[in-house]
Amino acid sequence: MIERSDRTKPYTATVIGGAGSAGRRHVEAQIRQGVDTAIYDIDNKRAVKAAEETGAHAILDIDEAIGFATGLVHVTTPDYAHTAPALHAIEAGRAVLVEKPLTTRLDESLRLRDASIDLGVPVFVGANMRLHPNFAAVRQQVQQGEIGEIRKVSASYLHDMRWARKNTPWRNKQNILLGGGIHPIDLMMHIVDDNVDEVFAVASLGHDEEYKLPDLYEIFLMFSSGILGYVNVNARTPVPAHKIDLVVEGTEGYCETDNAFNLYRIFRGKEGISPAVKATKPIDTFAAEIQIINDFLRGIRTDYKPVADIEETVRVMKTVDAIDRSTRSGFPEKVEEKILG
């Protein structure tokens, strides 16, 4: 069991997979926040090089690297390699931040969830889009009842992953539903504060000779409260930037936003009132997420919301599992709530 009162000073962190692109963002965010940070990577040369370039320490033994952290252990390895280092850190009694997705298999997510509960170790998951000011603004409007009873929520995740797969070959085996599409699914569940009961989804294969997995999904969701949801995931469309847009429809109005153009619009349904378009100040969502967790572990703040914890993430993973089953069966699938860990 971690006692947060013990986590004051010195406060140190370790980034597992810290030589990769995501790992470096975590390393740099910790160092900017004044945290003494270590890098572990299975590629020792890359770890040393990344440490020299960022001002971190390179630690080449994973046990020593995890032991170095009095605060947070970050797991920023490729998607398929999250489970083992995360479990290693949990069993060592270290608080863990795992990049999304938590794992690539539901049974592995449940294993981490169970270990976190049994050992009393907090596990956070990198659903950093929750901290984007536009999406946070929409959630605030929804939670305050500004657009009435929510009837429908829809979102798109658009990305051209071809360039990313050229630069990081492991992504040729990445499930884009987990690697990117999980963002809008998590956002929708977070914004309306509801779980999904049933899904129907179809998926399409692209024409990339090196990528043999679906890169286009059309997903329909039925939430527990009766809210309808729709998600479009397209990883092979040219866009000016990695793009997530979202629309929430209520009985008294609607909210819409996207992260690429940094705008959100709120319409409250009185005739003659024009929608208001607002711009928000961009923030580094990675750094904001890490700061919240650091402050929580140090006892500076009493909660870590809106950062996702492992229970929330397991609910999202169960939804993604049902989506995958639906694409294979061709029928609607229930989100299983009673799955043994």
Residue 31, helix vs strand vs coil: helix
Buried b (16+ CB within 10 A) or exposed e, 55-93: ebbbbeebeebbebbbbbbbbbbbbbbbbebbbbbbebe
Q: Is the pTM of this model over 0.85?
A: yes
Are 298 and 321 members of one domain?
no
Are 324 and 298 members of one domain?
no
Check whether the bond before 133 is cis (ω within 30° of 0).
no
Question: 3-state DSSP: the chain helix, strand, coil percent, rounded to 5?
Answer: 40, 25, 35
Q: What is the pLDDT along the chain (341 residues), one digit of tens a residue?
A: 444 445 445 899 999 999 998 999 999 999 999 999 999 999 999 999 999 999 999 999 999 999 999 999 999 999 999 999 999 999 999 999 999 999 999 999 999 999 999 999 999 999 999 999 999 989 999 999 989 999 999 999 998 887 777 777 777 788 899 999 999 999 999 999 999 999 999 999 877 777 888 889 999 999 999 999 999 999 888 887 788 999 999 999 989 888 877 788 888 876 435 566 666 777 889 899 999 999 999 989 999 999 999 999 999 999 999 999 999 999 999 998 654 44
Domain count, the chain: 2
Q: What is the CATH number of the domain that holds 149?
A: 3.30.360.10
* DSSP labels, 17-30: TTTSHHHHHHHHHH
Q: CB neighbours of 7 closer than 8 A, spacing ≥ 6?
A: 70, 71, 297, 298, 299
Please report whether residue 312 resides in a domain. Answer: no
Contact 256, 264 (CB under 8 A): yes
Please report whether residue 292 resides in a domain. Answer: yes
In terms of residue numbers, what domain contains 207?
A: 133-281+317-334
Helix axes 21-32, 44-54, angle to 10 degrees: 40
Are 182 and 298 members of one domain?
no
| CA separation for the pair 299, 74 (Å, rounded) | 19
Are 172 and 48 members of one domain?
no
Residue 40, helix vs strand vs coil: strand
